Structure 1
Amino acid sequence: MKIESLETFRQRVGDRPRVLVKITTDSGVSGWSEVYNHGPDLAYLPLLDHLFDQIKGMDPLRPTAVNQFLHQSARFPQGALGTAAIAAIDHALWDIAGKALGVPVYQLLGGAVRDRVRVYAGLYNAPDVAELRDRTADLHERFGFTAFKLSPYRRNLHNTRYGLVVRELGDYFGDVRQHHPEEWEFAFDAHACLWEPHQAVELGAALAPNQPLFLEEPIRPEYIPAWGRIRSDLRVPLATGESLYTTQEFLALLTAGGADIVQPDICVVGGMTQMVKIAAIAEAHYVPVSPHNPMGPLATAANVHFAAATTNFGILEYGTGYQVDDISWCPDPYLPVDGHLELRPDRPGWGIEIDEDALVADDWVSWNRRVPVRPDGATAWM
């Protein structure tokens, strides 16, 4: 069996653009993946064509060898776009391997260590508690969610006194706890909007009395020693990793004692092949892996198989936008039942189907990151 062709499809998931990838072998077996939405998404099409030219004719049942080759094919580190493109190829090949051998991908990773995968709902904002209660109640009733992730910011972070941001967060989280079942869990994603480590510590202090599931990515990822300092001063679990994309970066973070939970994105770090390595590094540091996953059904499928076979898996992020949107090209996504995603042992590969007829139409949507502006005209992180 040989890799014969690579096709890309311009689609969307909710309000975000998404490039889908299909790799087909000379025996007619196809594998699917989606590419991470970094922002300059149209750059992926020529990049994927370039990478495919290097691997055409290779054995698709050797995804680890292909992954290693693609990393070695560049003189310098591939960067975020490069590893995301490699991840898309990697995932399509794992899907092919599972289908060709007639088994789910998690069987190729050593078999399942759990029967189902717990998920939390990413809500991505901090609505008033009454509105939040309606949303969480609906998600609990429909899908069984008992864990949720919110923004810690109740006002514009960049044009107000920071002490007010912190005080309002403490009051807000206390109100959230008061109006929800006490066994439900809430995490907070600071979205790397902060730049000063002490501000991260203050956020954690505001959350600590009500025991959050974790505080996610309060500062920029680049300066690893700052993460060790923050974690030593925090009294809540510190989670990060979505902005890191190599095994070496995760090793540096964990060596510095910079995280209680790591959150690599399987579509960013180079795919399943690299994700397994990151999980092993984290396990050696007694750190669970709770993958970043605001993506669509193909990314979620890859994460399900990773989580099924990973002993130090914690909980999986599950974006709540696309299961209510009409994604016609994936008629059977993994949907939560009782707050978990069930494994599909009778389905090979990722265990989901792609309707190619629905991909005939280009369903692309333009998206650009909005950079905040401070009152003095300087730009800020978002």
Structure 2
Amino acid sequence: MTCDRDRPRVLVAIDTDEGITGWGECYNHGPDRALPPLLDYLFLQLEGEDPRRIERIVQKLLMQSRFPPGALGLAAISAIDHALWDISAKALGVPAYQLLGGTVRDRVRVYLGVYTAPDPKEVRDYCNQMNAQWGFTAFKMSPYRNDIHAEPWGKTLKATADWVEVLHALCPDYEFAYDAHAKLFEPWQAEQLGNALAPFNPMFYEEPMRPENFESWGALKSKLRVPLATGESLYSRFEFLRLLQAGGADIIQPDICVVGGLLEMRKIAALAEAFFVPVAPHNPMGPLATAVNLHFSAACPNFKILEYRLPHGAAYHSDGMQTDDQSAAYITDPYLPKDGHLELRPDRPGWGVEIDEDYLKTDRYVHWERKLPKRPDGSWSYT
């Protein structure tokens, strides 16, 4: 276990008797400390298996559970799946995407989150800086400009519309998506907020309400004039199938560290393709998860755009050279954007990155817990 800024990272290494090590990453933004003992248990089912039989092994792990595994089980299986693909590709000396039928695109477009600059001019300056340094032309931020639980709803809508109007006037050359973080319980509020954004043609409107009721998502999408995106909180192709059958999304956002790994991610994408729905993977994790997502995205025909986080704790010169600070030091060579895209590494087997195992031996772990907001009456609100 390691950390990236204030977020925990649970990385998984699987060794083979041929001397090949595969690496994967769990989704672990709570409860992160529950994953290591679960991984120890799952390894008992792996020992002695041929790591190249990925489908067989994943089926075994799924069937060992009396009931379908949820968030923790699938997060652990995701990292195991990643490691198995890494091993299989390294055994052949090829990038992992070659095992997926090769690439359908030469590079993968990424977007960057902007969450701490409420003033439109600050956002403009930040976007201009990221564009000049890395070529980003797409960004995502929160649509909320006030406390949605303490202030009148009409004031929230007006504050959002006024802010976005100024922002888009200042930044006509950039695309913006808006992540509502499932904070809205009532669908009519999700509808009104999305349609307040509609005049500005956002790239997408992300997860305004809880994900469990697929029929409600279908009803919401039918009333919106913006592309509706969701899926980071869904676990398997069966849940995504229900969402798609309900007509509940214009864009789906499965997380390769949540759904059970690359194998399940491919099945989800194939289902979405049959519904003419693109995939924009949810990717708030570390640089290893980004590497796995890059290989998936490069080989996915209905891929749209990939969420990306610049590695924390370091600065880079505009020519891409790293400064003295260390960034995501457990990855010595993270994928970094060029012209708003991640470039493939055809000469590098597996995920194409190097893990610093000596760094992982140091104790830098930071436990993370979700901060729950309270409504004025003292009840918890969604976050």
TM over 0.5: yes
Does the Cα contact within 8 Å between 1:146 and 1:184 map onto a contact in 2? Answer: yes
**Offset from partner CA, 1:35-91 (integer Å, 9 cap, x none):** 112311111000000000011110011112111111111110111110000000000
**Does 113-122 or 323-332 show the bigger shift?**
323-332
Correspondence for 1:194: 184
Correspondence for 2:240: 250
Q: Aligned to 1:59, which of 50, 69, 77?
A: 50
Count of matched residue positions in the alignment of Structure 1 and Structure 2: 372
**How far has the Cα of 1:18 moved from its partner?**
0.8
Does the Cα contact within 8 Å between 2:5 and 2:313 map onto a contact in 1? Answer: no
**Does 122-131 or 308-317 show the bigger shift?**
122-131
CA–CA separation in structure 1 for the residues paired with 2:114 and 2:289: 18
Does the Cα contact within 8 Å between 1:18 and 1:35 map onto a contact in 2? Answer: yes
**Does 36-45 or 296-305 show the bigger shift?**
36-45
SS in 2 for 1:94: helix
TM-score under structure 2 normalisation? 0.95
Q: Does 1:343 align with 2:333?
A: no
Mapping of residues 283-362 of structure 1, within 5 Å:
283-320=273-310, 322=312, 324=314, 326-362=327-363
**How far has the Cα of 1:126 moved from its partner?**
5.3
Q: Aligned to 2:201, which of 200, 211, 221?
A: 211
Does the Cα contact within 8 Å between 2:121 and 2:167 map onto a contact in 1? Answer: no
**Offset from partner CA, 1:160-214 (integer Å, 9 cap, x none):** 111111111111111111111x231000000000011011111111101110000
Amino acid at match of 2:100: L
CA–CA separation in structure 1 for the residues paired with 2:28 and 2:5: 12
CA–CA separation in structure 2 for the residues paired with 1:279 and 1:219: 23
Correspondence for 1:185: 175
**How far has the Cα of 1:125 moved from its partner?**
4.6
**How far has the Cα of 1:319 moved from its partner?**
1.7
CA–CA separation in structure 1 for the residues paired with 2:76 and 2:358: 24
Correspondence for 1:280: 270
TM-score under structure 1 normalisation? 0.96
Correspondence for 1:132: 123
CA–CA separation in structure 2 for the residues paired with 1:295 and 1:34: 8
Structure 2 regions of 5+ residues with no counterpart? 315-325
Amino acid at match of 2:286: G
RMSD: 1.1
CA–CA separation in structure 1 for the residues paired with 2:108 and 2:160: 30
CA–CA separation in structure 1 for the residues paired with 2:87 and 2:313: 25
Does the Cα contact within 8 Å between 1:20 and 1:35 map onto a contact in 2? Answer: yes
Structure 1 regions of 5+ residues with no counterpart? 1-9
Correspondence for 1:102: 93
Q: Aligned to 1:87, which of 71, 78, 94?
A: 78
Q: Aligned to 2:258, which of 259, 268, 274?
A: 268
Over the matched positions of the two proteins, sequence identity in percent amounts to 60
CA–CA separation in structure 1 for the residues paired with 2:313 and 2:88: 27
SS in 2 for 1:117: strand
Does the Cα contact within 8 Å between 2:138 and 2:174 map onto a contact in 1? Answer: yes
Q: Aligned to 1:225, which of 212, 215, 218?
A: 215
